[in-house]
Every structure is written in C-alpha cells, then in structure tokens.
A and B are shown apart, each in its own frame.
Chain A
C-alpha cells in the first residue's frame, strides 16, 4: 500500500457529463500529481500541485481542471466527457515540489469509462 488513496475506483458515465476524481496524498506529502493512462499507453502527465498551488502543467485539456485543498487532498474535474477520455487516472504524491529527491508514490487509480 503506497499510502495514496484514490476514489472512486471505477466510474462509468456518459458522453457530455462531468465527473470528479479524488486523491488523498500520503501523510506528510505536499505535492500531488495527476496522470492519464489510456489502454496500453504510457503515463501522460496532466498537472501538479504543491501545497495548494499549481506547480506544473502537462498535456491537460481545457475541459479538465484540478485543485488542491488546504488539507492537501486534490480533485481532478473532467467535464464535457468524450469517449476518448476513457482511461485510468492516477494520482501520485511526493514530499516536495521541486527538490532533487522528488520520488512519486502512486495511488491505485480511478478507471473512467465513458459510454
């Protein structure tokens, strides 16, 4: 168990809908990262938050947004969902946001199915 908790484990929804994925980082970790992994594809970095502030942005669509709350949990919001958004969404956390020892620990993921 990595200590990173993601909910829900599985989400089934329809095109055009909006969903929220939740992540609780490991105790003591200040940084949260979101990744998308489509079937048989590599990890695509979406966005990083550090202590409530956006730190880095990857290939995140405008329909997607995220935030990190004062208790350090994070939410990834996906709106106007399309079939191609079906994927595994992983959250990872690390102690710091920009140090050289920024090893990430991953949650079990949320599997999103858009029908």
Chain B
C-alpha cells in the first residue's frame, strides 16, 4: 500500500463547476499537508499548505484536512479553464511524500 493515494483521474468538468480533489494517506505521523498545481511541462507550484484538521480558504480554493480519517481534499469553486492542470497532494512527516497527481480539465 502506498503511503499517499491519489486518484489520477482524468477529471473533466464544465466551467463554473465545483471541483473536489482528494487524497488518502496511511501514516498518521504526517503533519503538514500541501497541494501543488502543475501545468503541462512546468514545475509544480505550491498552492496551499495546512497543518491542522479543518478548512483553509484562499480565494476560490479550500483545503480540507481530516486527520481522523487520514483524508485531505482540495475544493475549487467557480472553476475556470485556467485551472486545467495536474494537482498533486503532498504531505510531510520528516520528508515529503507526493500523491500521483490528478489531471483536471475545465471545459469552457
């Protein structure tokens, strides 16, 4: 079993939809949780990071962490074609572990 599981998709939604991206993990020692966005052939860009269980909001993006269920989510409201990218979850114990990434396409 991988330490971090992420559905690779692909996920295709119409513009304006609410997108939910998810990761599960097996190691309860993970303490910091991140979401990266990677456009095609570009470097991953840090979107958000959070430490505790609960929600953290930044504009149209909300990161949610449920440590009891070992489950993290990224919600994108009012999705735009410019949100089309691969989204990677990552988490830190002593070192960082990445999910495989979910490819998202937002269609106009």
In the complex, the answer to whether B94 meets A105 with C-beta atoms within 8 Å is no
Answer yes or no: B7 CB below 8 A from chain A CBs.
no
A-B contact pairs, 16 of them (CB 8 A): A2-B43, A2-B45, A42-B88, A48-B95, A90-B44, A100-B32, A100-B92, A100-B93, A102-B94, A102-B96, A103-B32, A103-B34, A103-B49, A103-B92, A103-B96, A106-B43
Answer yes or no: B75 CB below 8 A from chain A CBs.
no
- B interface bracket (residues with beta carbon within 8 Å of A): 20 to 34
Answer yes or no: A88 CB below 8 A from chain B CBs.
yes
Please, which residues of chain B bring their CB within 8 A of the CB of A22? none
Shortest CB distance A10–B (Å) = 10
Q: How far is the CA of A76 from the CA of B12 in the complex (A)?
A: 36
A interface with B by C-beta (< 8 Å): 2, 4, 42-43, 48, 56, 88, 90, 98-109, 111
Shortest CB distance B10–A (Å) = 10
Shortest CB distance A3–B (Å) = 11
Answer yes or no: B100 CB below 8 A from chain A CBs.
yes
In the complex, the answer to whether A101 meets B92 with C-beta atoms within 8 Å is yes
In the complex, the answer to whether B43 meets A90 with C-beta atoms within 8 Å is yes
Given B31, B41, B88, B96, which contacts A111 in the complex, CB threshold below 8 Å? B41
Closest residue of A by beta carbon distance from B101: A42
Closest residue of A by beta carbon distance from B92: A102
